[in-house]
Amino acid sequence: MIHGIINVYKEKGFTSHDVVAKLRGIIGQRKIGHTGTLDPDATGVLPVCLGKATKLCDLLADKSKTYEAVLLLGKTTDTQDITGTVLTERETRGLINEAVKSCVYDFIGQYEQVPPMYSALKVNGKKLYELAREGKEIERKARPVTIHEIQILEMDLPRVRISVTCSKGTYIRTLCHDIGVKLGCGGCMEELVRTRSGRFLLSGSATLSEVEEHQRGGKMESIVTPIDAMFTGYRNIILTGEALQRVYNGNTFTPAEASEHYSDGENVRVYDAEGQFIALYEYYGDQRYFKIVKMFFDRNEMTEELR
């Protein structure tokens, strides 16, 4: 079984679940999960976790992301992107470049964003887009999102190409819609590419066909990021004997067993003597012990591999 992360380039027309399903067929293993949904018409970076790396899915989904989008002013749709049914169309000839720039940049920072009806968020066990397709619209609470940075890459009104770096849970099509509302002419998203998700960049992504080529050629390791490579900023600890046995079971160990000085709240990578990555631990200085954060060792799996 492969354990690690593949930076997949999600092509237009595929859902994130489609990508996972196709990878299961290409690689021949079931334990695969993605790290954040991309709309079918969107393209770009989709980190996919394999094997024990699926334990990282939530952690990676929490990372900030960067998108390149085309905002089309003067038009609103029920999906807030160009694929939806047009609700309004307004004249945009009176728009001034500087006013549009000022409005776009006003969204930098935290703002309250109302999730769109056409989204995968669940209400009472049902996805919002399922309700929307039934012609139902329900009240959604605004949620705080953070726009870390916006760059205007190109402006040819009524279109504005922007690069947006934002927090988890931000809907770029809703951002486009909200900019249009603030300008008074309406707006929707015409194109979307995710160019970065955490440490994974568009330039290092591989299409499904390229992944398949690597699999056939026996070169998968060249496109799989090892689990511990996600934590290279943390110091590593090699344990043996009784301390290692406790860690295998997710129990605590002490600084004396690690034989270095550590700061309160510091995260560390724990390995065995063979160099196998076991777990992430955090140091609790007031209690002078390390406590488990995330376990990556699977005793059952290791037993199966040794058979």
Phi, psi of 254 (to 5 degrees): -110, 160
* Rg, Å, the chain Cα set: 23
Distance CA 121, CA 132 (A): 12
AA letter at 115: P
Give the whole-angstrom CA distance, residue 30 versus residue 7: 18
Residues in the chain: 307
Which residue among 18, 39, 58, 286 is the active-site one?
A: 39
Q: What angle do CA 209, 212, 218 make, to 5 degrees?
A: 145
Helix axes 16-27, 208-216, angle to 10 degrees: 10
Residues whose CB falls within 8 Å of the CB of residue 94, separated by 6 or more in sequence, listed in order: none
Q: Is 39 a catalytic residue?
A: yes
Distance CA 136, CA 272 (A): 55
Report how far residue 69's alpha carbon sits from residue 39's, in angstroms, rounded to the nearest whole number. 13
**Is residue 169 a contact partner of residue 141, using CB atoms and an 8 Å limit?**
no
The closest of 179, 186, 48 to 102, measured between CA atoms, is 179
Q: Which helix (H) or strand (E) element contains residue 246?
A: helix 241-248
Helices (H), 14-127: 16-27, 57-61, 97-105
Q: Residue for token digits 């406590």?
A: 291
Give, as one character, the DSSP assignment of residue 67: E
Query: Any idea which residues carry the catalytic annotation?
Result: 39
